[in-house]
Amino acid sequence: MKRALHWIGVLLCIAAVAFFAHEIRQSGLQLPPGGVMHAAGWLLLASIAYSACVALLALLWSSLVLGVHPPGDVRAEVISSYLVSQFGKYIPGNVFQYVGRHALGRKLGTPHATLASAAAVEIGFLLATAAIVAAIFSGAFIGDMAWLRPTAAAAGGAALLALYVAPRLIPAFPAVLRFDLARGLLLAMGYVAFFVGFGLLYWVCLWLFGAPVSLHDPIGSAALGWVLGFIVPGAPAGAGLREAALALTFDGRQATSMVTSAIVAFRVVTMLGDFIAFLAGLAMRRLRRKEPTSALPLSDN
């Protein structure tokens, strides 16, 4: 079953890449109206901003693993491990970021159960908040399927509620899964902020290439594209799937050369931003290598 799912994901990824390549061939690519150097500067700034979004995910991860008030050196170790391991999503299979994160966490002394349950909770928060953001910021791409908006919002809200309630109904769940309502809301707001920032960076790429689009719609499209790239196995960093989703959901219209150019630029922004975050994680680990580190505590939820 795992092998079959993997190959289904690979085939979907190939089909998505082929579709987006067809879109590029049909519409073409164009240079940014403001000039290459002007666009390069903006794209570099956008990449740095995206690395900050990845750092936000790392901070939220440390909160899941460690609880509210861990020692500063311990939090820094967990954050740096996240920043380094997240680059594993570019390895075909789309799961190596979790494998690497788990391995680094074990080296720091974190129990298997804590890491596994924190990963499950993180996935739940990511998918739930992505659905809510896509519902709130969905634009014309919904078209005649207006029922999708309340359905996505309800599904996201139900998932967040389940993350809060389920551990209390099943006492055997590890303690890391338990958090009070206020902390759960803060975590949800953090993941919502990630997706809003992700969508705003997509809008910057559209703006650079002169695509006529509001500030609202790209946020919902980007959240939907992220989910499709995340849930399909075999797609490294959602390659092809995210681009196909963004092309299909551009305001309900056929993608133009401006849009396809912006989508390609957005992929460059996220790849470079991930690499910047990876280098930052390596630098943090090197700086702290000779410093004594406290043993990682269990979450104090």
pLDDT of residue 151: 83
Q: How far apart are CA 283 and CA 224, in angstroms?
A: 33
Q: Which residues contact 200 (CB under 8 A, 6 or more apart)?
A: 215, 218, 219
How distant, in Å, are the alpha carbons of 63, 71, 77, 188, 225 from that of 103? 18, 21, 13, 26, 28
Q: Which of 65, 52, 61, 2 is CA-nearest to residue 276?
A: 52
pLDDT of residue 300: 47
Residue ranges of domains in the chain: 2-288
Q: How far apart are CA 94 and CA 220, in angstroms?
A: 23
The identity of residue 73, as a single letter, is D
The pTM is what? 0.84
Q: How far apart are CA 237 and CA 57, in angstroms?
A: 15
Q: Which of 91, 116, 94 is CA-nearest to residue 105?
A: 116
Q: How far apart are CA 259 and CA 36, in angstroms?
A: 16
Is the Cβ–Cβ distance between 247 and 27 less than 8 Å?
no
Q: Which of 54, 56, 298, 55 is CA-nearest to residue 177?
A: 298
pLDDT of residue 12: 60
pLDDT of residue 237: 63
Q: Which tokens belong to 149?
A: 């908006």
Digit-by-digit pLDDT tens for the chain (301 residues) are: 656 655 555 666 676 567 656 555 666 577 777 777 888 899 999 999 999 999 999 999 988 888 766 777 788 888 998 999 888 787 765 677 788 788 877 877 777 777 888 888 999 999 999 999 988 887 655 555 566 778 888 889 999 998 888 877 776 565 556 778 888 899 999 999 999 999 999 999 998 888 777 778 889 889 988 988 888 766 666 677 788 888 777 654 555 788 888 888 999 999 999 999 999 999 988 887 666 555 555 454 5
Question: What digits encode the pLDDT tens for the residues 50-100?
Answer: 999 999 999 999 888 887 667 777 888 889 989 998 887 877 656 777 887
